[in-house]
Structure 1
Amino acid sequence: MYVVTVVFEPHAGQMDAFLPLMQENARRSLEDEPGCHRFDVCLTEDRSRVFLYEIYSDEAAFVVHVETAHFKSFDAAVADMVREKTVNIYRLAQPREG
């Protein structure tokens, strides 16, 4: 499995506009993309950052995600709202058998 984490730090005063767009992107990803298995949207207690935890079948499924119309629309809509964005990529570690 291909795991993507993202931390968004919207500019001050932008969270109320940003968060519904983020949640809609997550919903569409889960509903419309067979290779998207998990897309959690988490908010810090002080509402200053959004943390995403996404799981895809593989890297190809993630590439499909970033090419979808709903992602491109989201990305364009929030571009000026975000102060900082940090993306990390992981592979899901499988427990050893036996």
Structure 2
Amino acid sequence: MYAVCVTFHIRPDAFDKFLRRMHQQADDSLSKEEGCHRFDVCHDGGLSSAIFLYELYEDRRAFELHSESEHFLAFDAEVSGWTLKKEVSTFENVRPGGP
């Protein structure tokens, strides 16, 4: 598995519309991409304007396909003006958890 962690820092005036669009992006990724197994959208529940994503893909290639997908490119273009900063980290899963 290939894990992707993304933190978006959002303009406060764009937070609500960004979050709505992010939920749509997560749904699209899970329903349209065979290699996307998990797409969590997280917020600290406070006044922070940061959104954290935890995405899990079959492998690096599945993530590359995600990054090239029509729905991702449309999402990225739409939200680029709403974000102040975007941080992306990727990880190879060396010991899967769970039962």
Q: Matched residues, percent identical?
A: 43
TM-score with structure 1 setting the length: 0.92
Tell me the residue number matched to 2:12: 12
Q: Aligned residue pairs: how many?
A: 95
Q: CA deviation at 1:61?
A: 0.2
User: What TM-score does the superposition give when structure 2 sets the normalisation length?
Assistant: 0.91
Gaps of 5+ in 2: none
Alpha-carbon distance, 1:76 to partner: 0.3
The residue number in structure 2 matching 1:79 is: 80
**Structure 1 ranges of 4+ moved more than 2 A:** none
- The yes-or-no answer on 1:34 pairing with 2:22 is no
Counterpart of 1:53? 54
Amino acid corresponding to residue 87 of structure 1 in structure 2: V
Please tell me the residue identity of whatever aligns with 1:19. Answer: L
Q: CA deviation at 1:93?
A: 2.5
In structure 1, list runs of 5 or more residues that go unmatched.
none
Residue 13 of structure 1 and its aligned partner are, at CA, apart by: 1.2
In structure 1, the partner of 2:2 is 2
